[in-house]
Structure formats: C-alpha cells, structure tokens
A = this chain, B = another copy of it.
C-alpha cells in the first residue's frame, strides 16, 4: 500500500511534536512536511533534540506543507484553522484539526466562549466532530475532522454509557479535572515556571474554561437532550495525563451493579477504553504515552452518588493519538495502527 503523506502544521508545539513522534513510527504514513511559524527553516531536532538522528523534513510554512500531503494535522491557536481548511480543501487534503475552530456546532456558543464569529461559516458543514468511540460512523464522510479536546475526551468517555442508558440525572454533573502541565503548551508563563508549578496544585478558569461547551455538546448528543456540567480544571504537577473525577446522581431506581454491567457492555469491543476492576481507581500512570482511556466506577451509597474516574494521556488520547485514530478510520486502517504502544505504569 502506498503510504499516506502526512503534514503537521504547528509541529513545534507540544501536540505537534507528539504527532511527529507517533506518525514517525506509523507503518502506513510518511511525514512529508512539518511547519512552524517560529522556526521555519530549522530542523525540528534543534527544538526537540529527542528527534536527533532521524530523517524528518525541514520546518517549512503551512502553505508549502499543505501542498504535499494527503492528510494535514493542525495544532494551532483558535482562529487559524478556518483559512487552513480552505487550503486543504483546495489541495484535496483531509484536515484533522486539533484546535478548537470546528469543534462547536453552534456559532452562538462559539461566539460566547471565543468572542468571535465563525469566519467561514460555509466550511463548518463539511466538518465532523469525531470522538471515535462515540461517533466513528459520522467521520467517514467528513472533509474536515474536528479532533476533540483533551478534557472533553476524558469526560465524554467517562459519562457516555451512563447518559446513553439514562442511568443518571443530567442536571447536576460535576467534573473535577486535573491535567499535567504539557496541557498548558510550550509557551512560557509564570504558572508553568518550574518552582511555582512543582509541589503544588491549583484550580484555574473555574467554571469558565472553554472546554465546557464542547463537553456539554457531546454529552447532549449522547443523552439526546440538553446536558449542563460544572467543570473545574486543576494544574497538576506532572508532565502528562488527565484525571477527571466526575460526580453524578443516579437516576431513580438505578442500582450500581447495573451501571457497571452497562459500562462493560458499552466498551467491550473498544480497543482503547478499559474499565478498572472493582475497587481500583483509574490512574494516570497506567495510560501515560498511550491512547488508552481508563475508567473506574465507584458508588457513594450514603448519598446515592455515582463517582467516575476517567484518565487519559492529554497528549495522546487527548490530542495526537486520537487524531491518528481518526486518520486510521478515514483511511480504512485498523484503528489501533501506529497506536499499539503499551504504557509501562512507571
């Protein structure tokens, strides 16, 4: 089989570099272009010495990169993916967008949270939001793939079986999320400066994080009705990984054993979703650097509350790995191709 020619736009950000890392070993992919606004003309190994001694294309610009690709992965600040999508369409390349531009279906929601309208509304009809475990059929016809955000991925996989089966009340979902610092990106900020990030934890953007409407959109689709959530992210002093502890009320008459059985049924054929054995809690180290999502279920019988722990690597299942999973679906490859790496647990 002829290799898929892949370009990475924004290759020197963390999600971009992770795409390079994973695509480099994908058996059906040839990396044909890498682009970077800040480092055009340099070798990526100058910015990521971990890639030394491996043949990778010299960093170029987005315009050039799009021309030599069957699939374009983009990891850009919001607002930049719409013009890129046009270029991809013009070049017959599939765009898999790791940014936020095509995730929200409602322009109203987008404006409320991102403070700008859709620049090219006509493109949004060609885009499909694809969290494969929930929407894999839809992505097959997409010309633009909106790859989910990291927090929404963990939240949606943690809640989907419960919402799909009407097991929980939908008016009081609370998501307490903790993310590794790579989620904040490669750019320098005081709160990611080592001495002020290490040996602490803190909530941020409490109740106002932009992943909130994306989470609600997905959960509403799964539930078949409007779902609202309270979402509070925390910056966790680890490099990678997201843990979300989710608090929901069981619907009347639902017992916990039934919940567990339906989760097992829901995910029994999924390669990348794993339920913890009873009593154990999902934890980040078991998924790090892999495309797995680990989920554990707990029951607070004193308050009739279902507690769900959902863990992913924010850079893999939460970004680059899921993007490759989407590419595999689009190119009719087994979903796990290039994503088989096991996590070591330490």
Whether A5 sits at the interface, judged by CB under 8 Å, is no
A289 touches B200 (CB 8 A): no
Q: Hey, which chain B residues are within 8 Å of A341, CB to CB?
A: 25, 341
Whether A332 sits at the interface, judged by CB under 8 Å, is no
Whether A53 sits at the interface, judged by CB under 8 Å, is yes
Q: Hey, which chain B residues are within 8 Å of A274, CB to CB?
A: 52-53
Tell me the bound Cα distance from A200 to B179 in angstroms.
10
Tell me the bound Cα distance from A240 to B18 in angstroms.
20
Whether A309 sits at the interface, judged by CB under 8 Å, is yes
List the number of copies, as a whole number: 4
> Which of A123-131, A149-157, A230-238 forms contacts with chain B?
A230-238
Q: Hey, which chain B residues are within 8 Å of A172, CB to CB?
A: 172, 303
Q: Which of B232, B271, B280, B345 contacts A245 (CB 8 A)?
A: B232
A299 touches B245 (CB 8 A): no
Q: Hey, which chain B residues are within 8 Å of A283, CB to CB?
A: 49, 200-202
Whether A203 sits at the interface, judged by CB under 8 Å, is yes
B201 touches A230 (CB 8 A): no
Give per-residue flags for A118-162: 1 if the beta carbon is below 8 A from chain B beta carbons, else 0.
Answer: 000000000000000000000000000000000000000000000
B340 touches A25 (CB 8 A): yes
> Which of A77-85, A183-191, A322-330 forms contacts with chain B?
A183-191
Tell me the bound Cα distance from A47 to B17 in angstroms.
32
Q: How many chain A residues have a CB neighbour from B under 8 Å?
A: 89
Give per-residue flags for A3-46: 1 if the beta carbon is below 8 A from chain B beta carbons, else 0.
Answer: 00000000000100110110011000000000000000000001
Tell me the bound Cα distance from A46 to B286 in angstroms.
12
Whether A230 touches B300, Cβ cut-off 8 Å, given contacts A238-B201, A283-B202, A307-B206, is: yes
A201 touches B307 (CB 8 A): no
B207 touches A281 (CB 8 A): no
Q: Hey, which chain B residues are within 8 Å of A174, CB to CB?
A: 174, 247, 305
B50 touches A201 (CB 8 A): no
Q: Hey, which chain B residues are within 8 Å of A24, CB to CB?
A: 342
Closest B residue to A173 by CB, please name it.
Answer: B303
A240 touches B302 (CB 8 A): no
A281 smallest CB distance to B (angstroms): 4
Q: Which of B204, B287, B302 contacts A228 (CB 8 A)?
A: B302
A54 touches B195 (CB 8 A): no
List 17 extra interface pairs beyond A25-B340, A236-B236, A341-B341, CB under 8 A: A18-B344, A21-B343, A49-B276, A49-B294, A51-B342, A52-B286, A53-B274, A181-B195, A182-B195, A188-B189, A198-B237, A198-B239, A203-B281, A203-B296, A232-B298, A237-B237, A240-B346
